[in-house]
Amino acid sequence: MGSAATIVTGRKQVADALRRCVPNPVLEVDSRFIDLADPGCNEDLEPQFRILNPEAQKALRELRGKVVCAIPPGLSEANLLLHLARTLQNGAAVLLYAPLHDLSPEGVTRAISAPNSISPWLLTSVAARRMTEHFVQTQMIAALRERGLAWTGWQSLFHLHLARAISKPSWTRHLRFGTCIAVEIDPFGGTVYHCRYPRQVKGGFAVTHKEAPAEWPDRRFAVNRLLWNSKERLEKCMEELELAYFSGAGSWPFNYGGVNYGEQPVRILSRPTGLLQHLAPSRPSRKVVRIYQQDHLRFRSQSYYPEGQPAINPLPAKAQIQVTIDPLLPDNTLQTFLGRLEGCQLNLDFASILQLIHCGYVRQGAGTITITPEGEDVLDCAEKAGLTGWRLYLILRLLENIQTDESSYETVLRQIQETVQDKRAPFLPHPPVPKPMLRNCA
User: DSSP secondary-structure letter at 241?
Assistant: H
Specify the pLDDT at position 316: 65
Instruction: Compute the distance between CA of residue 416 and CA of residue 367 in angstroms, rounded to an integer.
Output: 34
User: Which is more confidently placed, 322 or 165?
Assistant: 165
pLDDT (mean) for 98-116 = 96
**pLDDT score of 111 more than 70:** yes
Contact between 120 and 406 under an 8 Å Cβ cutoff? The reply is yes
- The answer, yes or no, to whether residue 437 has pLDDT greater than 70, is no
**Does residue 428 have a pLDDT over 70?**
no
pLDDT greater than 50 at residue 441: no
Closest CA to 297 of 434, 437, 441, 442: 434
Is residue 84 within 8 Å of residue 69, measured between CB atoms? yes
User: Tell me: the pLDDT tens digits for 56-102?
Assistant: 999 999 999 999 999 999 998 999 999 999 999 988 899 999 999 99
Contact yes or no for 372/363 (Cβ under 8 A): yes
pLDDT tens digits for 113-125? 999 999 999 999 9
Q: How many CB atoms lie within 10 A of CB 32?
A: 13
Summarised one tens digit per residue, pLDDT across range 288-324 is 999 999 999 999 999 898 887 777 777 665 557 889 9
Cα–Cα distance, 224 to 257 (Å, whole number): 9
Say which residue, 436 or 232, is predicted with more confidence: 232
* Separation of alpha carbons 295 and 433, rounded Å: 5
Are the C-beta atoms of 67 and 95 separated by less than 8 Å? yes
Nearest to 59 by CA among 96, 20, 90, 33: 33
Spell out the domains of the chain, with CATH numbers in brackets.
6-118 (3.40.50.140), 120-168+330-433 (1.10.460.10), 169-218+282-329 (2.70.20), 223-268 (no CATH)
Confidence band for 429, pLDDT divided at 50, 70 and 90: very low
pLDDT of residue 433 exceeding 60: no
Residue 439 has pLDDT above 90, yes or no: no
Question: What is the pLDDT averaged over residues 128-138?
Answer: 95
Question: Cβ distance 205 to 62 under 8 Å?
Answer: no
